[in-house]
Structures are given as C-alpha cells and as structure tokens.
A and B are shown apart, each in its own frame.
Chain A
C-alpha cells in the first residue's frame, strides 16, 4: 500500500528556535496533505490542509504564522514550527490522500514527536 514518511521521528529543541518536519509520500503523488497534532491521551486535531502549489488552509484557532506549511512538490509537504515554546511540544502527524486504486484512503505518517525545552 501507499506509504507516507515523516522526518524526523523525534526532535528536541530549545525554546525560541524553529523546527521543520518533513512529510513525504513515497510511492504516490499527493496533491493534498493534512497536518495533525496530538497531545497525550487526546485525539488527533487537524491543524491545516496543505495543497501543492498553493497556500495551506488552516483550521480555526491555528496560527498560520506560527505553523508554516509549504507543499512545494507532489510528494513533499513541510511543517515549520516557528519560535517554538514548551506548549508546542506535541506529536505531529501528517497524512496524504491516496490516488488511483487507493483513492479515498488517507495514509498517515509515523508521526514526529517535538519536545521544546
């Protein structure tokens, strides 16, 4: 089946620094990718929809200047947490909708755990 890969799987950074997380669709082209964040013992919360070649669409309450999303190619979307603070520590998960025979199925990456000190 289709595979979505995230990198890094975990990252620790100091408060005030920026962190970039990559999301790649390995064997299919994804015109649309989605970014979620998940706090411990909670469900996934949709942050934004990433569209190739255009601006991302953010969910209500998500700061677009804080969480920069770039979907520069059909296989890569990046999420940059700018000026990270401890409250940004979370599990970030990307997903991409399949194509062809997998249309309709949403494939998820392995997730990236961010810890801000």
Chain B
C-alpha cells in the first residue's frame, strides 16, 4: 500500500484558504486519493476523493498533478470549525480488500 507523507501541523486564520499537500510517491495505477477530516473523539468524515487532475465539491477542492505522486487539499475560507486533523489516504477500491491505511495526518488549527 502506498505510504503518505503530510505536514504534522498547520496554522491558519479565519477566512484564509488552506492548502494541505500530501506526498504519495509509490501510488499504484488503480489507487484513488481520499481525504478525511477528524474531530476529537469522532470517527473520520469523508471530504473528497479523486484519481487525477482536479475535483471540487461543496467543501473542498483536490488537486492532483499528472504524475499523481502528490495531491493538495484546498479548503477555501476556513472557519474556526475547520480546526481538525486531516488525513490523506491512498488505496484502491477493490484491491487489497479495499482497505485504507491512515498516515499521521495534518493537525490544522484555525485561529480567529
């Protein structure tokens, strides 16, 4: 399974755009890239998933370069409630039983 590397922590202020980059140099051809958000004492919550180029939904955008060895989660205009740990995961939907291995995650702190 592809290993991911993310910054351990990031600080931001309300209203700013936050970009969290994840490295996954040994991503496999059929691997998808998925980002999750986790608040303390809660299960992770799905944010966005992509395979290549750019994906956008109502809460975030995901940028994936052509070589797919990294990805960037973009959170527009963050608020205090976006303070959480963000995990980048790489895995196939059906290979390896579809399991996802969590890396260390990025602890985002949004300040007023």
Contacts and interface: CB of A to CB of B under 8 A. Distances in A.
A17 interface: no
A93 B43 contact: yes
B43 A111 contact: yes
B87 A43 contact: yes
A5 to B, nearest CB: 10
Nearest to A112: B43
Interface string B84-109: 00010000010001111111110000
Nearest to B104: A43
The interface residues of chain A, by DSSP majority, are classed as strand
Given A91-B41, A95-B43, A111-B43, A104 B93 contact: yes
A75 interface: no
A32 interface: yes
Contacts of A4: 43
A67 interface: no
Contacts of B100: 34, 46, 106
Q: Which 7 A-B pairs have the closest CB atoms?
A: A108-B43, A44-B102, A104-B93, A43-B102, A111-B43, A108-B44, A93-B43
